[in-house]
Chain A
Amino acid sequence: MRTAVIRVNLNPAGDLPDDQLAAAVEDLKSSGLEVIAPDFGQVPAHSREIELLLPGEDTAALSAWAADRCARALGAPGPVAGAATFLSRGTDEDALGVVSAFGLTATVERAWNNDQEIVTITIPRADARRVPESRLHTALEAALNAEVRLLYA
Chain B
Amino acid sequence: MAEQPSSLPRGREHVVCTEDEIPPGTHKVFPIGRHGVGVYNVNGAFYAIANYCPHEGGPLCTGRVHGRSVVSDAPGGASVIRDGEFVYCPWHQWGFEIATGTTAVKPEWSIRTYPVRVLDHKVIVTA
Contacts and interface: CB of A to CB of B under 8 A. Distances in A.
Q: Please determine if A and B sit in direct contact within the complex, based on CB atoms under 8 angstroms apart.
A: yes
Interface of A: 5, 7, 36, 38, 42-44, 47, 51, 53, 82-90, 94, 97-98, 101-102, 115-117, 134, 138-139, 141-147
B53 A142 contact: yes
Contacts of A38: 81-82, 85
B62 interface: no
B111 to A, nearest CB: 5
A7 B103 CA distance: 11
A13 to B, nearest CB: 15
B53 A147 contact: no
Interface residues of B, number: 42
A85 B81 contact: no
Contacts, number: 117
Contacts of A89: 112-114
Contact of A82 (B35, B99, B101, B104): B104
Of A82, A87, A101, A147, the most chain B CB neighbours within 10 A belong to A87
Contact of B108 (A44, A101, A144): A101
Main SS class of interface, B: loop
4 closest A-B pairs (Cβ-Cβ)?
Answer: A145-B33, A85-B102, A142-B54, A101-B108
B110 A142 contact: yes
Given A97-B110, A101-B108, A145 B35 contact: yes
B55 interface: yes
B25 interface: no
